[in-house]
Amino acid sequence: EAGVVQSPRYKIIEKKQPVAFWCNPISGHNTLYWYRQNLGQGPELLIRYENEEAVDDSQLPKDRFSAERLKGVDSTLKIQPAELGDSAVYLCASSLARGATGELFFGEGSRLTVL
Amino acid sequence: GEDVEQSLFLSVREGDSSVINCTYTDSSSTYLYWYKQEPGAGLQLLTYIFSNMDMKQDQRLTVLLNKKDKHLSLRIADTQTGDSAIYFCAEIESYNKLIFGAGTRLAVHP
């Protein structure tokens, strides 16, 4: 069974440029998460989807970040315009909707470098 | 808000036991977790413990939970070079919303 797939793995852009990350969760997982992991830190939740609905986006900087999960499967996270402080690894994760055991399945992440 | 703290680095000799410690703040967390992150990879759930337990053992892994002190530990017996990774402690704030610590980098040397 395929795991959570993310692309691109690496992205280098200049500040003020836009960037987008794509995530395909594990088949059948209704819940999808975007986390940001700064260097030397643990992941921090940006947004959580239950199917198509964003149920927790309180940590998403809405002035420059946006996300969508139009058909309740794949998701895209966009940053426009990017700032130097956005350099981080963006992790996508998915989980089954039922239960709350906290077992999240993570992708390998998209490493963003903003110059 | 909720906070999870861990020591940042641990070095052990191959074959010894490793003990990684964590403190958390949310006493209402129903589960506490240990995730493992190998270089260039995403996080992988290693084990978890329900809050009404004080110990859980799974092969070489032993999790100890002290709810009074809000202290969680992960013991890896007979540590191998393949155990070298970053280990994240996490508490659950609400439905499937995890709060992660900064991670403990475990280095295993011969």
Burial grade of B81 (CB within 10 A; 0-12, 13-18, 19 or more): exposed
The pLDDT tens digits for A3-29 are 999 999 999 999 999 999 999 999 989
Which residues 6+ apart lie within 8 Å of B36 measured at CB?
Answer: B43, B44, B46, B85, B86, B87, B88
pLDDT(A99) > 60: no
B67 backbone dihedrals φ, ψ, rounded to 5°: -70, -35
Give the separation between CA B85 and CA B41, rounded to whole angstroms.
10
pLDDT(A100) > 70: no
pLDDT of residue B41: 85
Average pLDDT of every residue of chain A:
92
pLDDT(A70) > 70: yes
pLDDT of residue A1: 67
**Contact check, Cβ <8 Å, A91/B42:** yes
Q: What is the DSSP letter of B54?
A: S
pLDDT of residue A82: 97
Identify which has the larger pLDDT, B40 or A48. Answer: A48
The arithmetic mean of pLDDT across residues A48-67, rounded, is 92
pLDDT of residue B28: 79
Tokens 């139009």 identify what position? A70
Number of Cα atoms under 13 Å in the Cβ half of residue A105: 19
Residues 64-83, chain B, touching A (beta carbon < 8 A): none
**Cβ-based contacts of B98 with chain A (< 8 Å):** 45, 102, 104
pLDDT of residue B98: 87
Low-confidence ranges of chain B (pLDDT < 50): none
Q: Name the pLDDT band for A102 (thresholds 50, 70, 90).
A: low
**Contact check, Cβ <8 Å, A31/B97:** no
**Cβ-based contacts of B30 with chain A (< 8 Å):** 100
pLDDT of residue B77: 97
pLDDT of residue A96: 84
The arithmetic mean of pLDDT across residues A74-88, rounded, is 97
**Cβ-based contacts of B88 with chain A (< 8 Å):** 42-43
